[in-house]
Amino acid sequence: RAKADAGSTPSFEMTWSSTTSSGYCSQEDSDSELEQYFTARTSLARRPRRDQDEPVEWETPDLSQAEIEQKIKEYNAQINSNLFMSLNKDGSYTGFIKVQLKLVRPVSVPSSKKPPSLQDARRGPGRSTSVRRRTSFYLPKDAVKHLHVLSRTRAREVIEALLRKFLVVDDPRKFALFERAERHGQVYLRKLLDDEQPLRLRLLAGPSDKALTFVLKENDSGEVNWDAFSMPELHNFLRILQREEEEHLRQILQKYSYCRQKIQEALHACPLG
CA pair distance 50, 42, nearest whole angstrom: 13
- Please tell me the pTM assigned to this model: 0.56
Residue 255 sits at the vertex; the CA angle it makes with 250 and 257, to the nearest 5 degrees, is: 95
For 28, 216, 237, the CA distances from 133, given in Å and listed in that order, are 8, 25, 18
Contacts of 104 (CB under 8 A, 6+ apart): 218
Residue 29's pLDDT is 39
Angle between helices 65-78 and 198-205 (to 10 degrees): 70
Residue 165 sits at the vertex; the CA angle it makes with 164 and 170, to the nearest 5 degrees, is: 40
CA pair distance 118, 18, nearest whole angstrom: 8
Contact 38, 233 (CB under 8 A): yes
Residue 221's pLDDT is 61
Neighbours of 183 (CB within 10 A): 11
- Average pLDDT per run of 10 along the chain, which is 273 residues long? 44 40 38 39 42 50 88 93 91 93 84 58 52 71 87 95 86 92 88 94 92 90 70 83 90 94 89 67
**How are the residues of the chain apportioned to helix, strand and coil, as percentages rounded to the nearest 5?**
35, 20, 45
Residue 194's pLDDT is 93
3-state secondary structure of 97: strand
